[in-house]
Structure 1
Amino acid sequence: MEFKNIQEDNNCDCITNAYQDNESTYALKTMKDFIRIQDFNSYWDKGKRPVNINDCEEVCSLKGVSVSILNESTKEDVISIYRELFPLAPKYKPYFGIVKFYESSGVVKHTPNDGNIHHYDFYKSDTFDFAKVNVIQIIELHQCLS
Protein backbone atom coordinates (compact mmCIF):
# COMPACT_ATOMS: atom_id res chain seq x y z
CA MET A 1 0.00 0.00 0.00
CA GLU A 2 1.14 3.50 -0.72
CA PHE A 3 0.39 6.60 1.35
CA LYS A 4 1.80 9.48 -0.71
CA ASN A 5 -1.36 11.53 -0.05
CA ILE A 6 -0.90 11.19 3.72
CA GLN A 7 2.76 12.15 3.51
CA GLU A 8 2.21 15.03 1.11
CA ASP A 9 2.54 18.62 2.42
CA ASN A 10 4.18 17.65 5.73
CA ASN A 11 7.22 16.01 7.32
CA CYS A 12 5.26 13.76 9.67
CA ASP A 13 5.20 9.98 9.69
CA CYS A 14 1.52 9.53 10.46
CA ILE A 15 1.43 5.81 9.72
CA THR A 16 4.00 4.80 12.35
CA ASN A 17 2.25 2.32 14.68
CA ALA A 18 -0.67 2.05 12.27
CA TYR A 19 -1.75 -1.32 10.93
CA GLN A 20 -4.10 -2.89 8.42
CA ASP A 21 -7.28 -4.22 10.04
CA ASN A 22 -9.80 -5.99 7.83
CA GLU A 23 -11.34 -8.03 10.65
CA SER A 24 -12.63 -5.49 13.19
CA THR A 25 -15.73 -3.37 12.80
CA TYR A 26 -15.60 0.40 13.14
CA ALA A 27 -18.19 3.08 13.78
CA LEU A 28 -18.32 6.10 11.51
CA LYS A 29 -20.60 9.13 11.76
CA THR A 30 -22.50 9.87 8.54
CA MET A 31 -25.16 12.39 7.57
CA LYS A 32 -27.19 10.04 5.37
CA ASP A 33 -28.58 6.55 5.73
CA PHE A 34 -25.94 5.35 3.26
CA ILE A 35 -22.17 5.72 2.93
CA ARG A 36 -20.81 8.43 0.62
CA ILE A 37 -17.29 9.38 -0.42
CA GLN A 38 -17.61 12.50 1.79
CA ASP A 39 -17.87 10.26 4.84
CA PHE A 40 -14.23 9.34 4.30
CA ASN A 41 -12.93 12.88 3.83
CA SER A 42 -10.54 13.89 6.58
CA TYR A 43 -10.44 17.42 7.94
CA TRP A 44 -7.32 17.86 5.80
CA ASP A 45 -9.28 16.78 2.71
CA LYS A 46 -11.84 19.45 3.65
CA GLY A 47 -9.15 22.14 3.70
CA LYS A 48 -8.38 22.45 7.41
CA ARG A 49 -4.70 23.02 8.23
CA PRO A 50 -2.85 23.13 11.56
CA VAL A 51 -1.59 26.39 13.02
CA ASN A 52 1.87 24.81 13.15
CA ILE A 53 2.70 22.49 10.25
CA ASN A 54 5.45 20.93 12.41
CA ASP A 55 2.93 19.77 15.05
CA CYS A 56 2.79 16.17 13.84
CA GLU A 57 0.12 15.10 16.32
CA GLU A 58 -2.25 17.72 14.92
CA VAL A 59 -1.21 17.12 11.29
CA CYS A 60 -1.82 13.38 11.63
CA SER A 61 -5.13 13.96 13.38
CA LEU A 62 -6.28 16.16 10.49
CA LYS A 63 -5.03 13.65 7.88
CA GLY A 64 -6.89 10.70 9.45
CA VAL A 65 -10.59 9.89 9.27
CA SER A 66 -12.11 9.53 12.75
CA VAL A 67 -13.57 6.12 13.52
CA SER A 68 -14.16 4.11 16.69
CA ILE A 69 -13.57 0.41 17.12
CA LEU A 70 -16.87 -1.36 17.64
CA ASN A 71 -17.34 -4.73 19.30
CA GLU A 72 -19.53 -6.19 22.04
CA SER A 73 -17.43 -4.66 24.82
CA THR A 74 -17.26 -1.14 23.28
CA LYS A 75 -20.66 -0.83 21.55
CA GLU A 76 -22.66 0.83 24.33
CA ASP A 77 -19.84 3.21 25.18
CA VAL A 78 -19.24 4.20 21.55
CA ILE A 79 -22.94 4.82 20.87
CA SER A 80 -23.14 6.98 24.00
CA ILE A 81 -20.03 8.97 22.97
CA TYR A 82 -21.39 9.54 19.45
CA ARG A 83 -24.76 10.65 20.81
CA GLU A 84 -23.00 13.21 22.99
CA LEU A 85 -20.72 14.43 20.20
CA PHE A 86 -23.47 14.61 17.58
CA PRO A 87 -26.72 15.69 19.26
CA LEU A 88 -30.03 15.55 17.45
CA ALA A 89 -31.18 18.97 16.24
CA PRO A 90 -33.60 20.38 13.68
CA LYS A 91 -32.20 19.79 10.17
CA TYR A 92 -29.38 17.67 11.66
CA LYS A 93 -29.93 13.94 11.81
CA PRO A 94 -26.66 12.05 12.27
CA TYR A 95 -26.33 8.38 11.42
CA PHE A 96 -24.12 5.69 12.87
CA GLY A 97 -22.39 3.59 10.23
CA ILE A 98 -20.84 0.24 11.08
CA VAL A 99 -18.14 -0.74 8.59
CA LYS A 100 -15.27 -3.13 7.91
CA PHE A 101 -12.34 -2.06 5.79
CA TYR A 102 -11.14 -4.14 2.86
CA GLU A 103 -7.62 -5.36 2.19
CA SER A 104 -5.41 -2.48 1.02
CA SER A 105 -8.00 0.17 1.92
CA GLY A 106 -5.66 1.73 4.44
CA VAL A 107 -4.44 1.46 8.00
CA VAL A 108 -5.77 2.35 11.44
CA LYS A 109 -3.98 3.77 14.46
CA HIS A 110 -5.35 3.84 18.00
CA THR A 111 -5.56 7.51 18.94
CA PRO A 112 -7.61 7.69 22.15
CA ASN A 113 -8.58 11.10 23.45
CA ASP A 114 -10.29 12.48 26.54
CA GLY A 115 -13.72 12.08 24.99
CA ASN A 116 -13.28 8.69 23.34
CA ILE A 117 -10.87 5.96 24.43
CA HIS A 118 -12.05 3.84 21.47
CA HIS A 119 -10.99 6.43 18.86
CA TYR A 120 -8.84 5.46 15.87
CA ASP A 121 -7.52 7.42 12.92
CA PHE A 122 -8.07 5.68 9.60
CA TYR A 123 -5.47 6.60 6.99
CA LYS A 124 -6.69 5.90 3.47
CA SER A 125 -4.28 4.30 1.03
CA ASP A 126 -3.72 6.12 -2.25
CA THR A 127 -5.97 3.58 -3.99
CA PHE A 128 -8.82 3.78 -1.41
CA ASP A 129 -12.26 3.15 -2.91
CA PHE A 130 -15.14 3.87 -0.54
CA ALA A 131 -17.44 1.65 -2.62
CA LYS A 132 -15.40 -1.40 -1.52
CA VAL A 133 -15.90 -0.73 2.20
CA ASN A 134 -18.11 -3.40 3.75
CA VAL A 135 -21.12 -1.53 5.18
CA ILE A 136 -22.58 -3.77 7.84
CA GLN A 137 -25.32 -1.47 9.07
CA ILE A 138 -26.37 2.19 9.18
CA ILE A 139 -28.69 3.34 11.93
CA GLU A 140 -30.11 6.72 12.83
CA LEU A 141 -27.82 7.60 15.74
CA HIS A 142 -30.54 8.61 18.16
CA GLN A 143 -32.57 5.51 17.31
CA CYS A 144 -29.67 3.15 18.09
CA LEU A 145 -30.39 0.58 20.69
CA SER A 146 -27.55 0.11 23.15
Structure 2
Amino acid sequence: MKEKSEKNHMELIDEIKDCKCLENSYSDTSSTFSRRIPKKIQSEKIFLTSKERKKPQESKDCNYLCSYHSVSIDKINSQNYEEMKLHYQAVLQVTPFKIGSTSEFLVFKLKKEAGKVKPTPNLGNSFHYSFFKSEKFSIQDIVEVTRIKFRDV
Protein backbone atom coordinates (compact mmCIF):
# COMPACT_ATOMS: atom_id res chain seq x y z
CA MET A 1 0.00 0.00 0.00
CA LYS A 2 2.81 2.43 0.82
CA GLU A 3 4.44 1.86 -2.58
CA LYS A 4 1.20 2.79 -4.34
CA SER A 5 0.95 6.00 -2.30
CA GLU A 6 4.51 6.96 -3.20
CA LYS A 7 3.92 6.12 -6.85
CA ASN A 8 0.82 8.33 -6.91
CA HIS A 9 2.81 11.16 -5.37
CA MET A 10 5.56 10.74 -7.98
CA GLU A 11 2.95 10.77 -10.75
CA LEU A 12 1.57 13.98 -9.28
CA ILE A 13 4.99 15.59 -9.28
CA ASP A 14 5.59 14.54 -12.90
CA GLU A 15 2.19 15.80 -14.00
CA ILE A 16 2.49 19.28 -12.52
CA LYS A 17 6.24 19.89 -12.26
CA ASP A 18 6.27 22.29 -15.21
CA CYS A 19 3.44 24.30 -13.63
CA LYS A 20 5.48 25.29 -10.57
CA CYS A 21 2.44 24.78 -8.33
CA LEU A 22 4.58 24.73 -5.20
CA GLU A 23 6.42 27.96 -6.06
CA ASN A 24 5.82 30.48 -3.24
CA SER A 25 4.19 27.80 -1.08
CA TYR A 26 5.19 27.29 2.53
CA SER A 27 4.47 25.30 5.66
CA ASP A 28 2.15 27.28 7.96
CA THR A 29 1.46 25.98 11.45
CA SER A 30 0.47 29.29 13.03
CA SER A 31 -2.41 30.44 10.81
CA THR A 32 -6.01 29.32 11.13
CA PHE A 33 -7.81 28.05 8.04
CA SER A 34 -11.35 27.02 7.21
CA ARG A 35 -13.00 24.66 4.77
CA ARG A 36 -16.67 24.32 3.90
CA ILE A 37 -17.85 20.75 4.50
CA PRO A 38 -21.02 18.68 4.60
CA LYS A 39 -21.77 17.77 8.22
CA LYS A 40 -22.07 14.04 7.61
CA ILE A 41 -18.92 13.51 5.57
CA GLN A 42 -16.27 11.15 6.94
CA SER A 43 -13.25 12.99 8.35
CA GLU A 44 -10.79 11.38 5.95
CA LYS A 45 -12.75 12.63 2.95
CA ILE A 46 -12.80 16.30 3.98
CA PHE A 47 -9.34 16.91 2.52
CA LEU A 48 -9.52 15.02 -0.78
CA THR A 49 -8.33 16.81 -3.90
CA SER A 50 -10.43 16.81 -7.06
CA LYS A 51 -8.04 14.21 -8.46
CA GLU A 52 -8.48 11.98 -5.40
CA ARG A 53 -12.27 12.32 -5.69
CA LYS A 54 -11.85 11.07 -9.26
CA LYS A 55 -13.37 14.23 -10.68
CA PRO A 56 -12.68 14.32 -14.43
CA GLN A 57 -9.70 16.46 -15.38
CA GLU A 58 -11.08 19.24 -17.55
CA SER A 59 -7.92 21.01 -18.64
CA LYS A 60 -4.14 20.86 -18.93
CA ASP A 61 -3.88 24.55 -18.02
CA CYS A 62 -1.44 25.06 -15.13
CA ASN A 63 -3.84 27.09 -12.99
CA TYR A 64 -6.40 24.34 -13.33
CA LEU A 65 -3.88 21.54 -12.69
CA CYS A 66 -2.55 23.22 -9.54
CA SER A 67 -6.10 23.58 -8.26
CA TYR A 68 -6.98 20.01 -9.30
CA HIS A 69 -4.08 18.63 -7.22
CA SER A 70 -4.68 20.78 -4.13
CA VAL A 71 -7.36 21.28 -1.51
CA SER A 72 -9.24 24.57 -1.45
CA ILE A 73 -9.04 26.30 1.96
CA ASP A 74 -9.45 29.83 3.30
CA LYS A 75 -7.22 31.68 5.73
CA ILE A 76 -9.32 33.00 8.56
CA ASN A 77 -8.42 35.39 11.36
CA SER A 78 -10.07 37.87 13.69
CA GLN A 79 -9.72 40.70 11.14
CA ASN A 80 -11.49 38.83 8.32
CA TYR A 81 -13.82 36.56 10.31
CA GLU A 82 -16.99 38.56 9.65
CA GLU A 83 -16.11 38.92 5.97
CA MET A 84 -15.50 35.16 5.73
CA LYS A 85 -18.90 34.45 7.31
CA LEU A 86 -20.53 36.64 4.67
CA HIS A 87 -18.54 34.86 1.96
CA TYR A 88 -19.68 31.43 3.18
CA GLN A 89 -23.30 32.60 3.43
CA ALA A 90 -23.15 33.87 -0.17
CA VAL A 91 -21.54 30.65 -1.40
CA LEU A 92 -24.19 28.57 0.37
CA GLN A 93 -26.93 30.50 -1.43
CA VAL A 94 -25.34 29.84 -4.83
CA THR A 95 -24.04 26.30 -4.35
CA PRO A 96 -25.80 24.55 -1.48
CA PHE A 97 -24.72 21.02 -0.68
CA LYS A 98 -27.10 18.31 -1.85
CA ILE A 99 -27.26 17.04 1.73
CA GLY A 100 -29.35 20.08 2.61
CA SER A 101 -28.76 22.74 5.18
CA THR A 102 -26.45 20.56 7.28
CA SER A 103 -23.34 22.27 5.96
CA GLU A 104 -20.63 23.52 8.28
CA PHE A 105 -17.28 25.07 8.01
CA LEU A 106 -14.35 23.48 9.75
CA VAL A 107 -11.87 25.86 11.38
CA PHE A 108 -8.45 24.24 11.75
CA LYS A 109 -4.69 24.56 11.93
CA LEU A 110 -2.13 22.48 10.09
CA LYS A 111 0.67 20.50 11.66
CA LYS A 112 4.13 20.89 10.15
CA GLU A 113 3.94 17.51 8.40
CA ALA A 114 0.60 18.30 6.71
CA GLY A 115 1.95 19.95 3.58
CA LYS A 116 2.27 23.42 2.13
CA VAL A 117 -0.11 26.29 1.51
CA LYS A 118 -0.04 28.92 -1.18
CA PRO A 119 -2.15 32.09 -1.42
CA THR A 120 -4.42 31.77 -4.46
CA PRO A 121 -6.94 34.59 -4.15
CA ASN A 122 -9.78 34.49 -6.62
CA LEU A 123 -12.75 36.60 -7.63
CA GLY A 124 -14.86 37.20 -4.54
CA ASN A 125 -12.45 35.50 -2.12
CA SER A 126 -9.17 37.21 -1.32
CA PHE A 127 -8.54 34.72 1.53
CA HIS A 128 -8.38 31.62 -0.68
CA TYR A 129 -5.38 29.29 -0.38
CA SER A 130 -4.39 26.07 -2.09
CA PHE A 131 -3.28 23.34 0.28
CA PHE A 132 -0.80 20.87 -1.20
CA LYS A 133 -0.80 17.82 1.05
CA SER A 134 2.46 16.08 1.84
CA GLU A 135 2.90 12.56 0.51
CA LYS A 136 2.48 11.27 4.08
CA PHE A 137 -0.59 13.39 4.87
CA SER A 138 -3.18 11.96 7.23
CA ILE A 139 -6.21 13.49 8.92
CA GLN A 140 -4.13 13.57 12.13
CA ASP A 141 -2.14 16.41 10.52
CA ILE A 142 -5.21 18.62 10.97
CA VAL A 143 -5.85 20.26 14.33
CA GLU A 144 -9.55 21.06 14.56
CA VAL A 145 -10.29 24.35 16.26
CA THR A 146 -14.06 24.31 15.86
CA ARG A 147 -16.93 23.54 13.51
CA ILE A 148 -19.48 26.23 12.80
CA LYS A 149 -22.88 25.34 11.40
CA PHE A 150 -24.10 27.59 8.63
CA ARG A 151 -27.29 28.32 10.52
CA ASP A 152 -25.03 29.76 13.26
CA VAL A 153 -23.17 31.97 10.77
Please give the range of the TM-score, normalised by the shorter of the 2 chains: 0.7 to 0.9
Name the structure 2 match of 1:64: 70
Deviation string 1:28-78 (CA, Å, 9 cap, x unpaired) is 11112787111101112112344332x111100111111100101111111
* Aligned amino acid, residue 70 of structure 2: G
CA-atom RMSD in angstroms: 2.3
Q: Does 1:95 align with 2:104?
A: yes
Q: Does 1:73 align with 2:79?
A: yes
Q: Say which SS state the counterpart of residue 51 (structure 2) adopts.
A: coil
Instruction: Quickly say closer, same or farther: Cα 1:4–1:100, change in 2 above 3 A.
Output: farther
Name the structure 2 match of 1:85: 91
Q: Does 1:48 align with 2:55?
A: yes
CA distance in 1, matches of 2:53, 2:144: 23
Could you list the runs of 5+ residues in structure 2 that have no partner in the other structure? 1-5
- Report if aligned partners of 2:38, 2:97 keep a CA contact under 8 Å in 1: no
- Report if aligned partners of 2:38, 2:99 keep a CA contact under 8 Å in 1: no
Q: TM-score scaled by structure 2?
A: 0.82
What percent identity do the matched residue pairs reach?
26
Q: TM-score scaled by structure 1?
A: 0.86
Aligned partner of 1:115 among 124, 133, 137: 124
Could you list the runs of 5+ residues in structure 1 that have no partner in the other structure? none
Higher helix fraction: Structure 1 or Structure 2?
2
- Give the aligned length: 142
The runs of 4+ residues in structure 1 deviating greater than 6 Å are none
